[in-house]
A = this chain, B = another copy of it.
Amino acid sequence: MDITSILEEYKKGTLSLEAAQAALAEKDSSHTAQTADLGFAHIDLARQERCGFPEVVYCAGKTVEQSVTILTLLMKKYDNIIGTRASKEVYERLLPDFPDVQYDDLARMVYQRKDTTIVNGDRTIAVVTAGTSDIPVSEEAALTAEIMGNKVMRIYDVGVAGIHRLLSRADDIRKANVVIVVAGMEGALASVVGGLVSQPVIAVPTSIGYGANFHGLSALLAMLNSCAAGVSVVNIDNGFGAGRLADILNRMR
């Protein structure tokens, strides 16, 4: 009901003063996310409507208690829910109440995926990974995208030191709609993939490597300085962020 309608209905008496006030106030706050206030957290309960997927819970730095409380609230309301950087204890606390809850050891992700519909048609996300040691981050990305309703193609251990392993998969990668590249050490894979495909490349630096990797700084800087067009970067080890962005790109009209 727009302002005009409210005003006219009020004039006609269809709306009481209170009702008209409420309608206008509601309109005013319609941008405001509906939230559940837990004191230590404001849970956004309108995000699925706004963005296509409910709020995701970043569990690092939260107590197990806090994580479980928030996830319980969300898992009751939604079919598919993700908690990232979660300890196994969070999962074990949720399991009695939510038999569908799952836990991925590598990705340290707790999640409920009751709805496995593919929402983005035939658009596939390729998750391309330099080395086996980067798989935990890759799985965080891949699982995130899958739970959000995307088809994911995993192409693992194709780092640039053996460029033909990558080239032999180039045609597969080109079939994807979006490409996520996960690499530690020198992070060169992002640039090479960026030069091979015309799709957008989301680069995820990982903290894997010998000393001068400096916890992912080397791969991060390399990816930011990529000479290939179409490459953008998310935070070190942030597989979730890459998976979520790929989902957003897949939902673009």
Q: Which residue numbers of A lie inside 8 Å of B, CB to CB?
A: 3-4, 7-8, 10-11, 17, 20-21, 24-25, 28-29, 31-33, 35, 39-42, 44, 50-52, 56, 58, 60-63, 66, 70, 106, 130-136, 156-165, 167-168, 170, 177, 184-188, 190-192, 194-196, 198-200, 202, 205, 207-238, 241, 244-245, 248-249, 251-253
Contact = CB atoms under 8 A, between A and B. Distances in A.
Contacts of A7: 7, 10, 17, 20-21, 24
A136 B42 CA distance: 17
Given A7-B10, A236-B210, A252-B199, A227 B165 contact: no
A92 to B, nearest CB: 20
Given A186-B187, A188-B188, A209-B225, A165 B33 contact: yes
Closest 7 pairs (CB-CB, A-B): A211-B236, A61-B133, A188-B188, A218-B221, A232-B232, A161-B195, A186-B222
A238 to B, nearest CB: 5
29 contacts: A3-B25, A4-B17, A10-B11, A28-B28, A32-B164, A32-B168, A41-B157, A42-B165, A56-B229, A61-B132, A62-B133, A161-B191, A161-B192, A161-B228, A184-B225, A186-B187, A186-B225, A187-B188, A198-B251, A200-B245, A210-B237, A210-B241, A212-B221, A212-B225, A220-B224, A224-B236, A231-B245, A232-B245, A249-B252
B233 A224 contact: yes
A40 B164 contact: no
B132 A51 contact: no
A21 B5 CA distance: 10
B191 A210 contact: no
Nearest to A20: B7
A12 B231 CA distance: 47
A9 to B, nearest CB: 11
A167 to B, nearest CB: 7
Given A191-B160, A196-B163, A252-B177, A133 B60 contact: yes
A163 B195 contact: yes
Contact of A229 (B185, B212, B245): B245
A141 B246 CA distance: 22
Nearest to A12: B11
B31 A4 contact: no
